[in-house]
Chains A and B, each alone.
Chain A
Amino acid sequence: MASASMRQFKAMLRKDVVMELRTKEMLMSMGLYSLLTMVVYFVALSQAGAGFDPRDIAAGLLWLAFIFTSMLGLNRSLVHEKDQGCLEALLLSPVDRPVIYFAKVTGNLLFLLIVEALTIPVFAFLFLQGETIDLRTMALIPLVLVAGSIGIAGVGTLLATMSVNTSGKDFVLAMLFIPLIYPLLLGAVMATGAAIVGTPEALGVFWTGMAWVIGYDVIMLLASYGLYEFIVGA
């Protein structure tokens, strides 16, 4: 039985990846959106003055970009499913609902991580040039990215499944998603900021932030996993 679920999971994930490779729609839109965010950041920081240290707010800016691009991507990934009737077909087929949930979460997580991995070098290139950066603590950033993105994808997939069936999809998703993701965002920004600043004391802050994020992931993924079954069939 477990192997059957695994096969179904793989098939659904493969469907998402193949569709993305053909259209490149989600990665393109999310990537370009995050690039546009960088332009907005430049304008926002253009009057900051000479004494301004971009490292202080780099973590916040990065996660802001991730949050907005992820909302775009989440909305898109579920709109596809609904418009082309794929979700209905999945519900008709003998697949366990949690398998659908985890396949969708994994797909969204994958695309989100790719966009994040592309955004960080661009951000560093545009805003952190000439700043002293400790590469050893920077190496911890992927940990936060993965842990944070799991939470974003997990909660976001559930909320996007709801919001695609509402009038005013994007707004409803934002209204539900941002307050709900707040604890994770706080921990993720705390940890990322500590990794960028990179002093020895910062490591303690880093792991506190990570503990927040992981705790949030565990609680919210369990809750979302339990509720998805009811939501997707409604």
Chain B
Amino acid sequence: MKSSVIRALIALVVGGALTLAAFLGAFFWAGVPDFGFVRTAQQTDSVRYQGPFVQDVDEARYLRNFVGYEADITADGTLTEGRITEASEDGVTLETDAGDVTIAAADFDSAQVHGSTYGRPDWGQKIFYFHVPVAEISFIVFGFAAFYSIRFIMTRRREYDTKARVSMEVTLLFVMFTMATGILWTRAAWGVWWMWEPRLTTYFIMTLLVIGYFVLRNAVEDEERRALYAAAFGILAFIDAPISFFITRLIPSNHPVIERGGLEPPMLATFIIAQIGMILLGYAIYQLRMGEVLLRDRIEHAKTLLER
């Protein structure tokens, strides 16, 4: 067997083992985060009582988040205690012992809100250990496809075209995985299957570009021309990848972003294991597919020689 195939098989086994380890780590080692506080009305069986909280509020508009809670509001120097029944940009209505009191936002000085917090375990977060590594690999392999496309245009050597094509195939595979896991998570976390949100939209466009790459390849007869066109389109298409990657940090987006130091050690370790495993799996898939393509080429070549 060729050494590249052996390396690919080793990567497949090790990557598979690490991904499995990450799977176990995700469910049995890393903690389950909470959604933060939820209203009493949203309680379900899995909601855990966590205790009382006191929240200082310094702007009237934030009170909209606390309808139904007990609050002490200072406005125009006088203190009013009661339960918030209504809150809007214009003001807030309190239900007090002496009847309803409406306080205009203009008079508002400060407030203290009292209530209880409930933690809802966020099981949907578990997909983070797979969705994020898969998405990262899709970007990385897309980068390789663009790199090989540039190499092809520079050298016009056929091997780079093959490499670019196989990279793009692996990109398509990982993009599909990302889409599938992402859609499941979106349903669990946001309650909808799809949202036209910056990250989702740009990633969807990236999916279309990768599909377009193969549409273009299939539509061109001449082999050399096909390779050139595909390389040119691969380079143009890759411009969307950094946009999609950085957009959650550039403009307001619902899509979560990992912050530096935002993960506890068990979560971080599981995440890193999942990443390494997924990189190895991506490499293995690429190498095995590459081996298959090269073998196919050799068979075709042998066939044409025999026919002569």
Contact = CB atoms under 8 A, between A and B. Distances in A.
Chains A and B come from one and the same complex: yes
Interface of A: 155, 158-159, 162-163, 165-168, 171-172, 175-176, 178-180, 182-183, 219-220, 223-224, 227, 230-231, 234
Contact of A231 (B205, B209, B229): B229
Contacts of B212: 175-176, 179
Interface in B79-103: none
Q: Which of B219, B222, B228, B233: most chain A CB closer than 10 A?
A: B219
A223 B233 contact: no
Contact of B209 (A163, A171, A180, A234): A180
Given A162-B229, A172-B215, A182-B205, A220 B239 contact: yes
A234 B243 contact: no
Contact of B232 (A166, A171, A220, A227): A227
Given A168-B219, A179-B205, A220-B239, A234 B224 contact: yes
Given A162-B232, A183-B243, A231-B228, 16 more contacts: A162-B216, A165-B220, A165-B222, A165-B225, A167-B220, A176-B215, A176-B233, A179-B209, A180-B209, A180-B236, A180-B237, A182-B205, A219-B239, A224-B236, A231-B232, A234-B228
A160 to B, nearest CB: 12
Given A162-B232, A175-B212, A179-B208, A230 B153 contact: yes
Interface in B189-219: 205, 208-209, 211-212, 215-216, 219
B235 A227 contact: yes
B11 to A, nearest CB: 32
Main secondary structure of the interface of B (DSSP, over half): helix
Contacts, number: 71
Interface residues on B, range: 20 to 34
B211 to A, nearest CB: 8
Given A220-B239, A231-B229, A175 B224 contact: no
A162 B233 contact: yes
Nearest to B237: A180
Contacts of A231: 228-229, 232
A9 B212 CA distance: 32
B219 A166 contact: yes
4 tightest A-B contacts by CB? A166-B219, A179-B208, A234-B228, A227-B232
B221 interface: yes
A162 B237 CA distance: 14
B10 to A, nearest CB: 37
A223 B205 CA distance: 19
Nearest to A183: B243
B29 to A, nearest CB: 40
B239 A223 contact: yes
A196 B231 CA distance: 40
Contact of A167 (B219, B224, B243): B219
B235 A223 contact: yes
Q: Which of A176, A178, A183: most chain B CB closer than 10 A?
A: A176
Contacts of A166: 216, 219-220, 229
Contacts of A220: 236, 239
A57 to B, nearest CB: 15
B215 A175 contact: yes
Given A172-B215, A172-B216, A180-B237, A230 B205 contact: no
Nearest to A155: B236
Contacts of A155: 236
Contact of A230 (B209, B232, B237): B232
Contacts of B222: 165
23 contacts: A155-B236, A162-B216, A162-B233, A165-B225, A166-B216, A166-B220, A166-B229, A167-B219, A175-B211, A176-B215, A180-B209, A180-B240, A182-B205, A223-B235, A223-B239, A227-B153, A227-B232, A227-B235, A230-B231, A230-B232, A231-B229, A231-B232, A234-B225
